[in-house]
Amino acid sequence: MKLPVWTPVWFLVAVLASLSAAPARAADRPNFLWLIAEDFGPELACYGTKQVFSPNIDALAASGMRYTRAYSTAPVCSASRSAFMTGMYQTTIGAHNHRSHRDDGYQLPAGVKVVTNWFRDAGYFTANVRKLPESFGFKGSGKTDWNFADDGTSFDSDAWNALKEHQPFVAQVNFQETHRQFHAPEKADPALVEIPPYYPDHEITRKDWARYLDAASELDRKVGLILEQLEKDGLAKNTVVVFTADHGQAHVRGKQFCYEEGLHVPLVIRWPPGVAAPEGYQAGTVTDRIVESIDLAPTMLALAGADKPQGMQGQVFLGNKAEPARKYAFGARDRCDETVFRLRTVRDDRYRYIRNFTPERPFLQTNDYKERQYPVWNLLKELHAQGKLTPVQEVLCRPTMPAEELYDLESDPHQIKNLAIFQKPATSEKLTELRGVLEQWIEETNDQGKTLEPPELVAAKGLTKPQDKPKANAKRKK
């Protein structure tokens, strides 16, 4: 920059001040790397799971913050991803039915945008990384699977090598390993895995559970390669790493249902050494603060120095803009593939309450996807017909479901004793509380799931083949 000899002193001072301030401002704006697993609960060694080999994610957790009460707002991918990518409940924005609005041009409500667009407005480069270094031998899945139309501007790139030259960035790498069908080297011993009591202790169940943990181990290996490359590229010193999942575990009572197993996700956040840590962050710690997946969008925006968009329902949980800790986490399940349910749930620090608006339908209601991909789904039916299930396992085979369920997660972590059917004073008080909290949430969030999609509409939308890849969101701006 060449200045004329007559340049005023005050101008020179201003220029020098701006130049010296620029690096400081850049250093205060970290990159964000979001590592997103599919269909995965907190089945990692750092969360206490046995027979899973997760040294890379465990190390990430040891050097960062690990959240024990992180929850998605839906137990199926398209609804949950529509939610956490907008910071809005899927039931509010009309994205609650699984893979709805795939081809009909449905637009998000006014004022709602994908979080990467908010980041771009704040001066960030955005990426959904598919193209990874060739030496890895794999690619990111690039999954979006949103229940609304995408105009192709949500991401600037799909290439890892673009990140180093475009900082600050917000990028995500999606991993499909824990989504069925599982493909991973066999490491877990089926005889040693721990089976929840609501599943039959059968060789099919044990093998299926072991293969799920093997998929988690393979996921960990790939996450390790990403973290190693981040170091090699010199990006680790100023990149916030977030590891989580789109929703809970890929098992019969997990995915598509509103128990802990369907909504509980891992969440690890590691703050980089080159950027001042925000308020509320403490490396190497574990927190039981309740966090919803929709909270990630406003929190990352706040940590980037941007304001939380007006009307965004997610809450900031780190930094000097952090909002009061949540007392409750909410979730919802609506149509998944051709199977129609309407479930709503809320949990606090101890209890989970589930309201079933379709109690006349069986838990094992016909679902082509589950029947083809989940061997324990069919095993339950077979053993039920043979009279070989325990009373706890038989619950899943009943012709109807309870209208209300309440579980004490402290004394009953597997949620097998429904307290809603008992008339104890303490139980009644908690049931009344959570019932009221859930009703208020449904009202305040303008829940769009009140009208169920009839079977003929599902068939007309061509949604009877759930394994078809979504046609919407297919084109990406490179």
Q: What is the pLDDT of residues 204-240, one digit of tens each?
A: 999 999 999 999 999 999 999 999 999 999 999 999 9
- 69 SS3 class: strand
What's the first-to-final CA gap in the chain, in angstroms? Answer: 34
Q: Which residues contact 138 (CB under 8 A, 6 or more apart)?
A: 132, 222
Buried b (16+ CB within 10 A) or exposed e, 356-393: beeeebebbeebebbeebbbbbebbeebbeeeebeeeb
Below-50 pLDDT ranges, the chain: 1-26, 464-478
Q: What's the pTM? A: 0.90
Q: What pLDDT, on a 0 to 100 scale, did the predictor assign at position 454?
A: 66
Q: Where on the phi/psi map is residue 283: left (φ > 0), alpha (ψ -120 to 50), or beta?
A: beta
Q: What pLDDT, on a 0 to 100 scale, did the predictor assign at position 462?
A: 56
Q: What pLDDT, on a 0 to 100 scale, did the predictor assign at position 7?
A: 41
Q: What pLDDT, on a 0 to 100 scale, did the predictor assign at position 478?
A: 32
Q: What's the angle, vertex CA 345, arms to CA 286 and CA 370, rounded to 5? A: 95
Q: What pLDDT, on a 0 to 100 scale, did the predictor assign at position 458?
A: 60
Q: Which residues contact 341 (CB under 8 A, 6 or more apart)?
A: 333, 334, 335, 356, 358, 361, 365
Closest residue by Cα to residue 472 from 81, 179, 37, 36: 81
| Structural domains in the chain plus CATH codes | 30-460 (3.40.720.10)
Rounded distance, CA 464 to CA 389, Å? 30
Please report which helix (H) or strand (E) contains residue 453, including its range: none
Closest residue by Cα to residue 356 from 343, 370, 371, 365: 343
Contact 84, 293 (CB under 8 A): yes
